[in-house]
């Protein structure tokens, strides 16, 4: 028996928009286009085997694979292709793919004619649980990830769980990294998750896992659209993650997907919170158990330079000119500014010099259907 598509809503007053979650959600795309749309540009990648029918004439534009595609030059190329296709301010952009596609297409849509509508058909787990929702678009610079971008909310998001069937194992792992983050965040009901929340999330059917993550993010974005306060909790685990990714972008040999880097960042954030007296060893062990139970790395690759990672963390946009981290604590996950550099250096050195000392309990992986 087929499962129904759920509709969740990101509430932004008059700019509220739907997020459809479930098998076949992409087939509702035509009904989601703004009234009067006469043409769309479908931005995707060559290896994505997902076709969409917006019900109006379309031009298909492909962007390269990988984070290295997220450049200002690629945004210019897309915008010039929009001109060549005759897109007007009354038309729309449809991103079909993962986070790289939605970041590029969304930023290009935000820039073109100073902003035209865009919609996203998210085809990776990471995009469905996180990247496609919330309106943050952007590209990278050699100095760091997502340093140039815009807040530009989509008209709608389709999280079609059918499109996940062909995902490679590493892409599943990347999505699980962001899902692990949501296991530690306050839910849409306003209550922090209790013990066992990660295992309960992982045990749900796939579309319920995605819907739960979407609901948490939608509640946070509705409360703080432009990251002036509460939205910073969505960066849990991301300060070290972005530093690891920046080292890779700068010519390093790191082979980490975004969610894998986030998983390592979650454990680092737990170690830092313990060092500051915010959580105890049991809570650190729970972070490790969640990450490793989902088949994700809990330690960085060997041989990294801690000073290089510290410099990258200081440049990260989440640092705001000082060493600010999102950390767990008595009130749940929250931003903590003004952390001494020496403390961060000590914890980082501890982590880089660590090896797993004992097995940790495994959280259920959950099903894909």
Residues assigned a catalytic role: 114, 136, 178, 217, 227, 231, 235, 238, 242, 258
CB contact at 8 A, 352 and 267: no
Annotated binding site for Zn(2+): 178, 238, 258
C-beta atoms surrounding 195 within 10 Å: 10
Tell me the pairing of strands 157-160 and 17-22: parallel
Going by their DSSP bridges, the two strands 17-22 and 6-10 should be labelled as antiparallel
Q: What is the b/e burial string over 264-280, where b = at least 16 CB atoms within 10 angstroms of the residue's CB?
A: bbbbbbbbbbbbbebbe
Report yes or no: 249 and 194 within 8 Å, Cβ to Cβ. no
CA dihedral (353, 198, 125, 53) in degrees, to 10, reads -170
Strand 325-327 relative to strand 334-336, pairing: antiparallel
**Which pair of structure tokens corresponds to residue 78?**
């897309």
Task: Cite the annotated binding site by residue number.
Answer: 65-70, 99-103, 123-124, 136, 145, 178, 238, 258
Secondary structure, 3-state, 80-126: HHHHHHCCCCCCEEEEEECHHHHHHHHHHHHHHHHCCCEEEEECCHH
**Binding-site annotation: residue ranges for NAD(+):** 65-70, 99-103, 123-124, 136, 145
DSSP letter assigned to residue 8: E
Buried b vs exposed e over 297-318: b needs ≥16 C-beta within 10 Å? bbbbeeebebeebbebbebbbe
């Amino acid at each position: 028996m087929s499962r129904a598509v759920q509709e969740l809503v990101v509430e932004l007053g008059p700019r509220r928009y739907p997020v459809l979650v479930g098998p076949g959600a992409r087939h509702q795309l035509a009904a989601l286009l703004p009234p009067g749309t006469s043409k769309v540009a479908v931005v995707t990648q060559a290896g994505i085997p997902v076709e969409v029918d917006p019900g109006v004439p379309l031009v298909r534009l492909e962007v390269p694979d990988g984070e290295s595609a997220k450049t200002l030059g690629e945004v210019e190329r897309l915008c010039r292709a929009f001109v060549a296709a005759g897109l007007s301010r009354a038309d729309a952009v449809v991103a079909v793919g993962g986070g790289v596609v939605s970041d590029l297409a969304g930023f290009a849509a935000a820039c073109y004619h100073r902003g035209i509508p865009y919609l996203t058909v998210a085809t990776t787990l990471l995009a469905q649980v996180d990247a496609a929702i919330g309106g943050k678009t952007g590209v990278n610079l050699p100095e760091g990830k997502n340093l140039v971008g815009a807040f530009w909310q989509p008209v709608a998001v389709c999280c079609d769980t059918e499109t996940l069937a062909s995902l490679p194992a590493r892409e599943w792992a990347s999505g699980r990294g962001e899902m692990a983050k949501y296991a530690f965040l306050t839910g849409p009901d306003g209550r922090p998750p209790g013990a066992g929340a990660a295992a309960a999330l992982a045990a749900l059917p796939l579309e319920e896992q995605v819907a739960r993550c979407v609901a948490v993010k939608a509640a946070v974005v509705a409360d703080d659209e432009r990251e002036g306060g509460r939205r910073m909790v969505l960066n849990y685990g991301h300060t070290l993650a972005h530093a690891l990714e920046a080292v890779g972008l700068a010519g390093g040999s790191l082979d980490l997907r975004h969610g894998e880097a986030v998983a390592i960042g979650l454990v680092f954030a737990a170690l830092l919170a313990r060092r500051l007296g915010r959580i105890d060893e049991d809570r650190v062990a729970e972070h490790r158990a969640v990450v490793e139970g989902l088949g994700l790395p809990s330690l960085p690759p060997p041989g990294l330079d801690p000073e290089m990672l510290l410099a990258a963390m200081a440049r990260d946009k989440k640092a705001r000119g000082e060493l600010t981290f999102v950390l767990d604590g008595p009130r749940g996950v929250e931003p903590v500014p003004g952390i001494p550099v020496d403390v961060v250096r000590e914890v980082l050195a501890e982590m880089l010099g660590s090896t797993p000392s004992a097995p940790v309990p495994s959280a259920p992986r959950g099903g894909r259907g």
